């Protein structure tokens, strides 16, 4: 039974969702060369507006946040105008959409933004390179980043806040801060990527300082009712886990709860995986330490997600690849119709 998925859910007094199914953020690399959303993207998101909430693909907050080709930005007026077409398409079809604000940190590459500046830097908590090459552009090897200084950090906080303001101007109903999956904010939260000894490293209190500064600056701009956050307490992508990470998230979660966010969203590929330093799955750890609205994700289908919600494991479910294969995912699940199976070649077009 999936009936639970189709009950409305109030995030707060500002935003009520028509159902508990969220479209997860899915990188599609379909913006134009100026990182402006295209009409094809507007059609793509508009067709999926039956989701209770769409979380957009990651949206770059400023040029040096880019780590993949043709990922859309929200730092230029042209980009804001492009997103207006997307949000209008979703709203015209009765849906709601949040922008996922993204800076990739050490996963960025100057190829995308150096514009002839040989000194263009990659910013991260510490000068520790990610091994490997850029997906879809294997000729680009990751470089050793610059450890962000106090001026860099202040600039990043301000640019996250400006990006949130730009998102609201573009018609988004709110934003989700991408604090997961080994990107910039997540890099501050894990010992593998944060080797700092100043006020932004070494202790849980210090390691959460930058993420909370970003969060507070955004809340100050657009309100906590329009602000969500995605986190990855289980290091599983672009970063290695460390048992000491548990203490960082033990400190972070109560701080997040105080801020009355629209929701907290787990970043994980497969939520059935258990982590010894978390005492179980990522979602079970967060649920035990965070009492407000929680979004589950990671290899759930409609049936298992509905069962998990009924068992109070989380409140909402974010569905990823099935939404790529099935623009009408919500209607199909509600009618108990067969779903088209996802395949990787579907990533080559926006339908």
**Of the candidates 43, 1, 24, which has an alpha carbon nearest to the alpha carbon of residue 263?**
24
Give the pair of three-digit tokens for residue 83. 């997103």
C-alpha atoms less than 13 angstroms from C-alpha of 346 in its C-beta half-sphere: 17
The residue assigned the tokens 């050793």 is 144
Longest CA pairwise span in the chain (Å)? 58
The residue assigned the tokens 């997040």 is 256
Rg, Å, the chain Cα set: 19
Q: How far apart are CA 129 and CA 295, in angstroms?
A: 31
Please state the φ and ψ torsions of residue 123, each to the nearest 5 degrees. -100, 140
Q: How far apart are CA 7 and CA 21, in angstroms?
A: 10
Dihedral (Cα; 35, 167, 76, 45), 10-degree rounding: 30
Q: How far apart are CA 42 and CA 310, in angstroms?
A: 34
**Residue 344: partners with Cβ closer than 8 Å, 6 or more residues away:** none
Q: 209: helix, coil or strand?
A: helix
The residues that are catalytic are 183
């Amino acid at each position: 039974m999936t009936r639970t998925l189709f009950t409305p859910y109030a995030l707060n007094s500002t935003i009520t969702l028509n159902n508990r199914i969220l479209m997860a953020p899915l990188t599609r690399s379909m913006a134009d060369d100026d990182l402006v959303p295209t009409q094809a993207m507007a059609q793509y998101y508009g067709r999926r507006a039956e989701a209770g909430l769409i979380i957009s693909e990651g949206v770059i907050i400023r040029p040096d946040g880019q780590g993949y080709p043709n990922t859309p930005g929200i730092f230029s007026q042209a980009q804001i105008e492009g997103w207006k077409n997307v949000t209008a398409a979703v709203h015209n079809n009765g849906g709601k959409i949040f922008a996922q604000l993204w800076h990739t940190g050490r996963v960025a590459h100057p190829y995308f933004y150096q514009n002839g500046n040989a000194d263009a830097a990659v910013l991260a908590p510490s000068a520790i390179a990610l091994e490997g090459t850029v997906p879809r552009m294997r000729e680009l090897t990751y470089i050793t980043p610059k450890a962000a200084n106090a001026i860099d950090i202040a600039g990043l906080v301000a640019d996250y806040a400006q990006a949130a303001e730009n998102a609201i101007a573009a018609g988004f109903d709110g934003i989700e801060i991408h604090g997961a999956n080994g990107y910039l904010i997540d890099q501050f939260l894990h010992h593998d990527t944060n080797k700092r000894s100043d006020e932004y490293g070494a202790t849980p209190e210090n390691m959460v300082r930058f993420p909370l500064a970003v969060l507070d600056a955004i809340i100050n701009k657009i309100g906590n009712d329009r602000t969500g956050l995605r986190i990855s307490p289980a290091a599983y992508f672009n970063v290695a886990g460390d048992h000491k990470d548990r203490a960082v998230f033990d400190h972070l979660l109560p701080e997040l709860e105080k801020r009355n966010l629209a929701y907290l969203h787990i970043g994980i590929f497969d939520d059935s995986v258990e982590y010894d330093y978390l005492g179980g799955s990522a979602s079970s750890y967060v649920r035990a330490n965070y009492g407000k609205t929680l979004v589950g994700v990671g290899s759930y289908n409609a049936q298992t997600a509905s069962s998990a919600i009924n068992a109070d494991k989380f409140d909402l479910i974010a569905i990823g690849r099935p939404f790529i294969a099935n623009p009408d995912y919500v209607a199909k699940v509600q009618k108990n119709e067969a779903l088209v199976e996802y395949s990787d070649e579907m990533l080559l077009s926006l339908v």
